[in-house]
Amino acid sequence: MKIAALGVTALLTGCATVSSVATLAPGVYTVSVQDVSTWGSPSQVIDRAAEEADDYCGKQGKTASLVNTVNSGRRGILPLQNTIVFRCEMPRAVANP
């Protein structure tokens, strides 16, 4: 079952590679996504990096808060890459109306 799920994930993400989340400083993390396909878009690469940050923080019961993002590449010419720097923060309480 896991192999089938991996196959579906590969189809949905195209030829994207995702780095492991790395610690830059206490409480500050980074993750990079690179898409070498010719059909990927910059927004898809950014979204994929944000998903990784959300997943990482979600495992701690927190939400990802973007600190910085760096984009590079050009679709069909150079691989698209997005690197984000983020913090994991406690979710903010929602006021009752």
Domains of the chain: 2-89 (3.30.1360)
| CA 52/CA 4 separation, integer angstroms | 20
CA 12 to mean position of chain CA atoms: 14
Residues 25-50 pLDDT 10s: 999 999 999 987 767 777 888 889 99
pLDDT at 17: 87
pLDDT at 85: 96
Regarding pTM above 0.85, the answer is no
Cβ atoms of 92 and 60 closer than 8 Å? no
